[in-house]
Structure 1
């Protein structure tokens, strides 16, 4: 697939994996609208991304919206399509994580995490779908996590939201394929992003020990894998060998993985 002159919308496009993907796409000639909550961060991202344009006439826009609020998400997608003229690809990278012990996390953290990660993706998909159906083509890329393949200690507010995205993607894939719309889901490992920095502030030591098993990726490397997966029409995009194996064998390996996790956690209890 050639991304030159493709019209693409990215939520959460002002930082982390979303921004790295936006930069790569713009460098390949794509027209882009990125959506994020913070206008200051959007302005900074815009300045960086403008520098890598392949063509001076490329379209690039930013929109400030909280995708967890249905009206804001719908209006932002609607406006993005108006600005671009059409939409070829929707990449859903907006997300949040707030790790901690289940019994200590406020219920608002669970509600907010589900609102951003799951509902924020669903609202945007529903708004973009009529245009893609009209065009009889399009690609929808959901960003899940390795924690969407296996539940991880300390991520009781986060993992379920990423599992939910997996269920949504698997359910949508067959329904939308006859309409010419490709659905993909990405399972990134830990990635060096501002979100990871924020997570580490509340992450239990047991979670840090488990996550320390795998070195974090750089967002640019994840972005490369995302684009390669889009080109190949992959349903599951799995950066790195560990995630590929986890995606294929996680049910078979679950007992062994849980025993290892229990061993790691027990070291903190003894």
Structure 2
């Protein structure tokens, strides 16, 4: 019996790419997005294997209804890929309240609602694999991407706790941490706050550090994602791309060095 994958943000980028790859491998796919018109061709080609559904992950009631519909249609939900999200560019002073709230509503709360809806189904099945799309920027942060990083740091903390909570029910959790890829994440899918001239040097210095060598090819992620899904013992965390691990390793080495240099003061603050 074919396994069923529930994936959010399936209309473009990683979501659409992985949806097609999963269909080619014979999986049933519930492909959700705010606008599913871009999935029409896949729906015609894989009729019966794909269930395209419009979904705004920030609408909790709609999320639960959609998850139940998928369960009724396919009979199970074996794999959840929480992929919906977007990037917000801008310094903290530039970010508006609406921009900050919407970033968190989509990238974090949307992921929470979908996970909450799917966990009871997987728990009753006694099996399941939840794949949470974080980012290398869920482990380190850069200027002009603070709120985006905050949303992904939240995904990291939530998902690590979730993994321990559901392990006894046969549910596995993996946090996927891509570096930048040439998807629409930094383009059409992204949002940018109105720029203040005072931060122009910050932007210039940051973007000067970036290079094309650090940007991965989206199609190259397909074999890795398929291996992850088919693994009997998937990791809690998985980088995608070659840029994330060196950046994070460098950042954490600096963190440990700083913590160590302040350890005497930190220990004294314990009080006993």
Q: Which residue of 2 aligns with 1:73?
A: 63
Q: Which residue of 1 aligns with 2:160?
A: 170
Deviation of residue 223 (structure 1)? 3.1
Q: Which residue of 2 aligns with 1:98?
A: 88
Native 8 Å contact 2:184 2:190 kept in 1? no
Matched, 1:179 2:169: yes
Deviations 1:151-171 (A, max 9, x none): 111112200000000001111
In the alignment, structure 2 segments of 5+ residues that lack a partner are 194-202, 258-272
Deviation of residue 173 (structure 1)? 1.0
* Worse overlay, 77-86 or 7-16: 77-86
Matched, 1:237 2:263: no
Matched, 1:44 2:38: yes
Q: Which residue of 2 aligns with 1:60?
A: 50
SS at match of 1:157: helix
Report how many residues are paired: 246
Q: 1:249 to 1:184 in 2, by over 3 A?
A: farther
**How large is the Cα RMSD of the aligned pairs?**
2.3
Correspondence 1:109-258 to 2 at 5 A: 109-198=99-188, 202=192, 204-212=203-211, 214-232=213-231, 233-246=234-247, 250-254=251-255
Native 8 Å contact 1:144 1:165 kept in 2? yes
Deviations 1:97-135 (A, max 9, x none): 110121112111110000000110110011011110100
Using the size of structure 1 for normalisation, the TM-score is 0.83
1:5 maps to which of 2, 6, 9: 2
Native 8 Å contact 1:226 1:237 kept in 2? no
Please say which structure displays the higher CA radius of gyration: 2
Using the size of structure 2 for normalisation, the TM-score is 0.82
- In the aligned structure 1, how far is the partner of 2:160 from the partner of 2:251? 16
- In the aligned structure 1, how far is the partner of 2:49 from the partner of 2:138? 34
* Worse overlay, 227-236 or 173-182: 227-236
SS at match of 1:187: strand
Deviation of residue 228 (structure 1)? 1.9
Deviations 1:34-86 (A, max 9, x none): 11112xxx1222314654x5xx7x52111111101211222222222222211
- In the aligned structure 2, how far is the partner of 1:200 from the partner of 1:254? 30
In the alignment, structure 1 segments of 5+ residues that lack a partner are 257-270
* Worse overlay, 191-200 or 70-79: 191-200
